[in-house]
Amino acid sequence: MTAALKTIPGEKGLPVIGHTMRFIRNCNNLFDEMHEKYGPIYYNHYLATKAVHIMSPEGNEFVLLDRDKNFSSRKAWNRSLKHLFPNGLMLRDGDEHRHHRRLMGAPFKASALERYVDDMNPDIASTVAGWGLQKDFRFYVAIKKLTLNLAASTFIGQSLSRESERVNRAFVDMVEASMVLVRYPMLGNRYQRGLEGRAYLVDYFGSRIAAKKDSDDTDMFAEICRAEGDDGSSFSNQDIIDHIIFLMMAAHDTTTSSLSSVCYALAKNPEWQDRIRSDIEALGSSTLDYSQMAEFETAELVFKEALRMYPPLPTIPRLAIKACEFNGFQIDKGDQVFVSPYFTHRLPAIWTEPNKFDPQRFSKERAEDRIHKHAWIPFGGGAHKCLGLRFADFQVKLVLFHLLKNYQISVKPGYEMPYQPAPIGKPIDLLPLTLTPIIKT
């Protein structure tokens, strides 16, 4: 006889809002408290919705690999992104998702990535050179602007013209709208501005598809327009629009967030800046080429460690499309289920001194991330694992290369970054960094 399934413990929180405000203010404290009280599987309420949290590497594997097809990514993400970023890759399921993901291979193949690296090198070098002249320099603001401008050139082939400023504005309005609690357009509120931004971009991309298809352009938009499967299938115009708008969103705040954490950690741990600079000297070139990425090893360790401590997405949501069980607990159809990169990235059973910045833990010798395949999940896992992870890795390495070649970065003595982990991690004070030019002798 099989044992009866256990009910998941947890609590609803405040009337109407549940734990929503605590989640937004500091989800990490909430995770710690709930885990302490209820163990590695519990529920909370966000507004009227029950959300089951599974807080272990085994739970990450169960949800992200989803061998029994229990979960929908589309239904989970649709709750926040349906009007602004509909039908992006993450908002598709099953066979349809598989088909689209295969076609989306084109803009991420090695030859395309190599071109993006070539294109980004001079833009990053010249922008970073100007940072040293700024008063009251806020790294988060500067890097957000840079990644947005890079997206305009790499993703859609725009130079930094007035038109690209309009595209950027529309895009920023959409991203801001996706973070608000009241998802209802009225009186020019943020949500309405977001929807207007989307309408502008739909029109902008829609009117350029035919020309892009015939062009020799090599940006991501052109690659998606020309993508073709082995069976001759291609994207419809609406698919192209939805994918390119979603890609810009998926790439932007995540990379901004992780570069901020990387630079904060480096400012607090200058010995790691020195190690990266030694790598830069050993490379012996004025730019970082595609072929050199693998040799830029210290930067990679630092990036991985910053993603461990400050994963840009502190949780990844799914929606249960059928009743299922995990470790003897009953998950109901319709439950939202969250896995948490943040929480599993700090489990003492996996990570030595989890609150310490220690990039060496990712070295081949120590390889703490290999203790469980789903212990380190800043890019998710399974069918929806981040498609842009190599692009992100290259962009972070390019910024570090040009930044640390030219500057020593520091924070005021005793400074601790005030951090808001959700919905996408961000330094609340926008990260005041001091950049001291390195005098070359």
List, as residue ranges, the binding site for heme. Answer: 386
The stretch among 192-200, 321-329, 377-385, 414-422 that binds ligand HEM (CB under 6 A) is: 377-385
Q: Could you write out the DSSP letters of every residue in 277-342?
A: HHHHHHHT-SS--GGGGGG-HHHHHHHHHHHHHS-SSS-EEEEESS-EEETTEEEPTT-EEEE-HH
Name the token pair of 178: 């996706």
Residue numbering of the annotated binding site:
386
> Closest separation between CB of residue 185 and ligand HEM, Å?
26
* Complex with ligand HEM: residue 79 or 190, whichever CB lies closer: 79
The stretch among 37-45, 124-132, 157-165, 380-388 that binds ligand HEM (CB under 6 A) is: 380-388
Interface residue with ligand HEM, options 250, 331, 398, 430 (CB under 6 A):
250
Sign of CA dihedral 206, 209, 211, 215: positive
Q: Does 249 bind ligand HEM (CB under 6 A)?
A: no
> Closest separation between CB of residue 164 and ligand HEM, Å?
18
> Closest separation between CB of residue 297 and ligand HEM, Å?
18
> Rounded to whole angstroms, how far apart are CA atoms 369 and 379?
13
* Complex with ligand HEM: residue 193 or 426, whichever CB lies closer: 426
* Complex with ligand HEM: residue 71 or 272, whichever CB lies closer: 71
Total residue length of the chain: 441
* Complex with ligand HEM: residue 331 or 377, whichever CB lies closer: 377
> Rounded to whole angstroms, how far apart are CA atoms 93 and 42?
26
> Closest separation between CB of residue 289 and ligand HEM, Å?
19
The stretch among 1-9, 18-26, 308-316, 328-336 that binds ligand HEM (CB under 6 A) is: 308-316
Q: Does 258 bind ligand HEM (CB under 6 A)?
A: yes
The answer to whether the beta carbons of residues 60 and 339 sit under 8 Å apart is: yes
Name the token pair of 141: 């603001």
* Complex with ligand HEM: residue 316 or 433, whichever CB lies closer: 316
The stretch among 120-128, 174-182, 199-207, 254-262 that binds ligand HEM (CB under 6 A) is: 254-262
The answer to whether the beta carbons of residues 146 and 251 sit under 8 Å apart is: no
The stretch among 244-252, 276-284, 329-337, 349-357 that binds ligand HEM (CB under 6 A) is: 244-252
Name the token pair of 110: 């090695």
336-339, strands of its sheet edge to edge: 41-46, 49-54, 336-339, 316-320, 71-72
Phi and psi, residue 171, nearest 5°? -70, -45
Interface residue with ligand HEM, options 56, 178, 255, 340 (CB under 6 A):
255
Q: Could you write out the DSSP letters of every residue in 27-66?
A: HHHHHHHHHHHH-SEEEEEETTEEEEEE-SHHHHHHHHH-
> Closest separation between CB of residue 253 and ligand HEM, Å?
9
Give the CA angle between residues 234, 235, 238 to the nearest 5°.
Answer: 160
Q: Does 388 bind ligand HEM (CB under 6 A)?
A: yes
Q: Does 399 bind ligand HEM (CB under 6 A)?
A: no
> Rounded to whole angstroms, how far apart are CA atoms 230 and 392?
27
Using CB atoms within 10 Å of the CB of residue 178, give its burial: 0 to 12 exposed, 13 to 18 middle, 19+ buried.
Answer: buried
Report the residue number whose CB is nearest to ligand HEM.
388
> Closest separation between CB of residue 323 and ligand HEM, Å?
21
Q: Does 345 bind ligand HEM (CB under 6 A)?
A: no
> Closest separation between CB of residue 247 and ligand HEM, Å?
5
Q: Does 227 bind ligand HEM (CB under 6 A)?
A: no
Interface residue with ligand HEM, options 254, 336, 340, 344 (CB under 6 A):
254
The answer to whether the beta carbons of residues 56 and 369 sit under 8 Å apart is: no
Residues that bind ligand HEM (CB under 6 A): 73, 89-90, 101, 247, 250-251, 254-255, 258, 312-313, 316, 378-380, 384, 386-388, 391-392
